[in-house]
């Protein structure tokens, strides 16, 4: 195993901590915990890869930090607007998610959600 694989294997060990933080301690064969650990592993690796790519692109002069931050801000605003369309009656604000209960009921946004 090379140095990169060793570092990534070590990094992804955090998946268990994140899963336990969300679900509480579970048996290692618990399907819900296994699914969450798999998802956390992907998220952890994706963060490391994107941060690496961004750093290299800035170092190589492909774009500046300001250009990246401006584009990231636009993307964040767009994605938040997309989520608001996906979940009618909900909107992200500086303080959290604002919910318009009447609109949520009108659109059935939370119909079928677990209590």
Q: Report the pLDDT value the prediction gives residue 51, as an integer from 0 to 100.
A: 97
Q: Report the pLDDT value the prediction gives residue 82, as an integer from 0 to 100.
A: 98
Q: Report the pLDDT value the prediction gives residue 114, as an integer from 0 to 100.
A: 86
- Non-local CB neighbours of 101 within 8 Å, separated by 6+ positions: 89
Q: Report the pLDDT value the prediction gives residue 115, as an integer from 0 to 100.
A: 83
pTM above 0.95, yes or no: no
Task: Record the tokens describing residue 78, joined without a space.
Answer: 């767009």
CA atoms of 20 and 14, how far apart (whole Å): 10
Q: Report the pLDDT value the prediction gives residue 1, as an integer from 0 to 100.
A: 73
Q: If the chain, 115 residues long, is cut into consecutive pieces of 10 residues, what is the mean pLDDT of each piece?
A: 94 95 92 96 98 98 98 97 98 97 98 91
Task: Record the tokens describing residue 106, joined without a space.
Answer: 């009108």
- Which of 43, 41, 20 is closest to 32 using CA atoms? 20
Q: Is 88 helix (H, G, I), strand (E, B) or coil?
A: coil
Dump pLDDT digits (tens) for 51-74.
999 999 999 999 999 999 999 999
Count other Cβ atoms within 10 Å, centred on residue 41.
Answer: 19
Let me know: does 15 contact 40? Beta carbons within 8 Å.
Answer: yes
Count other Cβ atoms within 10 Å, centred on residue 91.
Answer: 15
């Amino acid at each position: 195993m090379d140095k990169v694989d060793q570092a990534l294997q070590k990094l992804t060990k955090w998946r268990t901590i994140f899963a336990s933080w969300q679900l509480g301690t579970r048996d290692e064969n618990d399907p819900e915990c296994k699914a969450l650990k798999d998802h956390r592993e992907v998220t952890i690796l994706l963060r490391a890869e994107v941060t690496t790519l961004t750093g290299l692109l800035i170092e190589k002069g492909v774009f500046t930090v300001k250009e990246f931050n401006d584009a990231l801000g636009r993307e964040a605003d767009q994605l938040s607007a997309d989520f608001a369309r996906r979940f009618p009656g909900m909107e992200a604000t500086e303080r959290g998610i604002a919910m318009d209960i009447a609109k949520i009921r009108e659109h059935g946004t939370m119909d079928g959600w677990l209590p």
